[in-house]
A and B are shown apart, each in its own frame.
Chain A
């Protein structure tokens, strides 16, 4: 049994169905990428897992059905979400942003030690600790969003287009940090990306979406070498 199981997921906004029954799974400790063009339904899929869109179908985390539960319940089960466009609190300080990440944390544990770990991964956040998040650069805000997600001590981290709008050097730095988190903590990750080249280097397995269905799936290597995939997304 996989850690995250999604089966026959349907969802939409009003009368428009965006997901037409997709299924996929993520093994514990694995990083799985979800690829696809704009409007394929990637973000909607993430929002379904996180309870922000109410889907039909089955979503199970560690064997427990979570489909239909509220976001606060799902977060409390250890599912952290780094949303598209960061979604930080611009008027609150970096420190407060991070503390909010631990709001729903069940294993009370030591908040300070988790924060030390975040500052160890992203030293620049420590320098800016008392600054308003709105004054941070785009790259720093993305790091803050990831750091905030880590404050939950999550079992599963959902990332929505983490490279969006970042300079290549910042993107590399960020994926370096994500790699460290995965290697040192064995955190399970589910990453939505448009930058297929980048994420296929990083993920173990990948699913490719096309207008609300899964068009292709497999381990990262095979997806990367798939003829149609290369033509459609990688451009060679």
Chain B
């Protein structure tokens, strides 16, 4: 029983990282209606920046802060330069643009840093602690705290500030937003910037658990997509809960179902994506698409 609960705690910890990435996907989906396939690569690139900074002797904490700021600006530039020209176009165009961005960023990172693995310094202490009698690590606890912190900050930005209100307005009704003088384009830029920053946080959190290389986010993004699909692509709350559920499902399947084990556990998010799309396409907390009759 204890081992089972510890598996669940571990699942929640990893799930928090999936949740953060799913949150980034939701941010962009809600503000621009685009599923950003390049989200993972953007996070990977940011993680490499953090790594390069620490290699240059900058303490990890400061390096991460610089990286988050870099991601914010880079996300805004990407929106302005690549997304704006095709905004409001066909969905296929947008999908192809984000896929192109995926390949471009992956190629750039390989060109700059090469294809080899690197160790990424631990951001959170990994000492073992005991929570309610269960054996776990500081990292697991802090991952949950960081995710809730990120979600809390986003909640405050969107619900308590003037710019957050304007961002929600621009996403909900761009025409009416222009009429009241909201610069809609700048709000969408900011949405991409915030998403890139959240993605960068997820990247530096997951890198120490894996090895940092240009394909760092490949598998992780599948879990993040599963989290967003399960929670509902337009629900921030759903992204977090979805992340936890996916994390727990992964841990349990990997640890307890023999034929899945560690090798086949990538099947878990794929099966969940498929099941959600078949049974409840809007996800657990998403709003169903309503067609006017």
Q: Which residues of A come within 8 Å of B, CB atoms? A: 50, 52, 70-72, 74-76, 81, 83, 87-92, 96, 99-101, 103-104, 148, 152
A104 touches B179 (CB 8 A): no
Q: How far is the CA of A192 from the CA of B172 in the complex (A)?
A: 27
Q: Does B34 count as interface, using CB distance less than 8 angstroms?
A: no
B166 touches A103 (CB 8 A): yes
Q: How far is the CA of A91 from the CA of B177 in the complex (A)?
A: 13
| Majority DSSP secondary structure for residues of A touching B | loop
From 163 to 180 in chain B, residues with beta carbon under 8 angstroms from any chain A beta carbon are 165-166, 168-169, 172-173, 175-180
A72 touches B183 (CB 8 A): yes
Specify which of B166, B176, B181, B183 lies most central, judged by the most chain A CB atoms within 10 Å of its CB.
B181
Q: Does B162 count as interface, using CB distance less than 8 angstroms?
A: yes
Q: How far is the CA of A76 from the CA of B182 in the complex (A)?
A: 10
Q: Which residues of A contact B169 (CB under 8 A)?
A: 89, 92, 96, 100
**CB-CB contacts of B136-179 with A at 8 A, as 1s and 0s?**
00000000000000000000000000100110110011011111
B178 touches A72 (CB 8 A): yes
A99 touches B165 (CB 8 A): yes
List, sorted by A's number, 25 A–B pairs whose CB atoms are closer than 8 Å: A52-B179, A71-B178, A71-B179, A72-B178, A72-B182, A72-B183, A74-B181, A75-B180, A75-B181, A76-B181, A87-B175, A88-B176, A89-B169, A89-B176, A91-B172, A92-B169, A96-B168, A96-B169, A99-B165, A100-B166, A100-B177, A100-B180, A103-B165, A104-B181, A148-B180
Q: How far is the CA of A83 from the CA of B179 in the complex (A)?
A: 8
Tell me the count of chain B residues lying within 8 A, CB to CB, of chain A: 16
Q: Which residues of B contact A74 (CB under 8 A)?
A: 181
Instruction: A96-B165, A103-B162 given; name 10 further pairs at CB < 8 Å.
Output: A52-B179, A71-B181, A72-B183, A87-B176, A87-B179, A92-B172, A96-B169, A100-B177, A103-B182, A104-B182
Name the CB-closest residue of A to B179: A81
Specify which of B162, B175, B176, B177 lies most central, judged by the most chain A CB atoms within 10 Å of its CB.
B176
Q: How far is the CA of A92 from the CA of B176 in the complex (A)?
A: 12
